[in-house]
Structures are given as C-alpha cells and as structure tokens.
Amino acid sequence: MKKYGLAIQNALVEDALETKGLVSNASFVVRTPDELRAIFDDPKLNVDYLFFPHWSHIVTEKIYEQIECVCFHSTPLPYGRGGSPVQNMILRGFEQTEICALRMTKKLDAGPVYLRLSQSLNGPAHQIFSSIYKKIAGMMIEMLTHDLEPIEQQGSVTQFKRLSGADNELPTLGSINSLYDHIRMTDADAYPSAWLRYGDWVLEFRDAVLNGDRVSATVNIRRSDGNHE
C-alpha cells in the first residue's frame, strides 16, 4: 500500500475513515493549517498522497506542488465547482450526484479526476454526508492499492456559490417538495438550520418528513439575534 497523509477537520469524517483503519495507518494526520505547515518543514517527508477528505482552508501552491494532494467534491465535475455542493445540487432538483476524487490544483475544483462514484441525494443531509464519508474511505483505499491516472475534466463549467445562513430561509412560494428540500438539505450538525422569522422570533426546522402534501418537522423557537441575516 502506498504511503499517505491526512488533513481532516471533521470528526465524523475521521470516524468514517478509521472504520477502515485509514487514520491509524496514515504516516501523519493534521487537523489545523499550522499543523499542515509544520509537516512541510520536515525534510524527510515522504508520502505518495496527501488526502483532504474534509478541509476548508487554503492550501498553498508550495504544498500541492511538493506532494500529490487529493481532495474530494460532491458534484459531477466540471458541473458544480465551488461551495455547498450537496445543497446546491438539491436546490436544483437533482436526486443523484457524484463524488469526485481529484488532484488539487491552483484553480478550485478544476484538477483532473482519479475516481467518480454515484451518490444518492435522498434523505436528510446528515444521512447523505454519512454515505459520502464512507464512500470517500473506499475511494482512498482504491487509490492506495491501485495505480490510477487522473483524467482531465471535460465539458462546460458550472460554478456554485457557497450558501450562507441567510440562504437557508424557507421559501414563501413554490412546491411542498421545495419546502421539504430546504429543510432536509441543512439537516446536519455542521450546518445552520432552515429557518423562518416570526416577529421577534426565529423558527428553526429539522427532521423533516414528507407525507403527500404535508411536511412535518421538529421546530426550535428562539428570539432573533440577527445571525441569519
């Protein structure tokens, strides 16, 4: 098996990788930008890949030119480069997406792709992400045990923007399915909930269930502090 390092910020991702022994068998694991920079001060650094299964910080050119850095993105690239890939795909009505393992380059999400796997977008966000993390673990094992040549992306580029808490306000118009999608696409620990303002109060929604022309959900009510604006 090839040698590799890991850059991880998310405990759920780390847990999914460790079920396959990928954390304990890594040459090193970094969890902060400072730790990442410190690793590259070591002249004896020798790994085949540095995987970024969940990382939100800028990676400098010095790093990805010294080591083959691999990141993961959950759209059928080059469609959907940019932020909030799962949520943006759901908002556009997709029921399936792809998980891409790609080489990190100067241009965001533009590198050649080693592997693609299909991924369902049904269910709440935490369920979708759990499935994605497990598949990323499998993709890493595939790369570590086989010699894969990345393939340049082909086709028209579509760019996504990262969604903010303000974008999670529930729509006042549209279908019941659209309302359901807005709630479920943010139903994960790392994301601000879908919400509505009612006077001085903010209503936050999770655990949505679609039943015909009705949606049931868990609602948390708190006084507005302006954080969603």
Does a structural domain hold residue 229?
no
Given the structure tokens 């990382």, which residue do they identify? 55
Tens digits of residue pLDDT in 167-215: 999 998 999 999 999 999 999 988 899 999 999 999 999 999 999 999 9
pLDDT, averaged across the chain: 95
* Residues pairing with 117 in the sheet: 99
Question: Do 119 and 145 belong to one domain?
Answer: yes
Question: Do 59 and 110 belong to one domain?
Answer: yes
SS3 letters across 207-219: EEEEECCEEEEEE
Question: Do 45 and 153 belong to one domain?
Answer: yes
The pTM for the full model equals: 0.93
Does a structural domain hold residue 209?
yes
Range of the structural domain that residue 66 is part of: 4-160
Confidence class for position 228, pLDDT limits 50, 70, 90: low
Q: Do residues 121 and 128 make contact, with C-beta atoms less than 8 angstroms apart?
A: yes
Question: Do 19 and 114 belong to one domain?
Answer: yes
Please state, in angstroms and rounded to a whole number, the distance separating the CA atoms of residues 189 and 111: 29
Q: Do residues 49 and 70 make contact, with C-beta atoms less than 8 angstroms apart?
A: yes
Number of Cβ within 10 Å of residue 68's Cβ equals 18
Domain boundary among 145, 160, 175: 160
Q: Tell me if residue 165 falls in helix, strand or coil.
A: helix
Instruction: Say what the pLDDT of residue 45 is.
Output: 84
Residue type, 186: T
Please state, in angstroms and rounded to a whole number, the distance separating the CA atoms of residues 1 and 17: 16
Domain count, the chain: 2
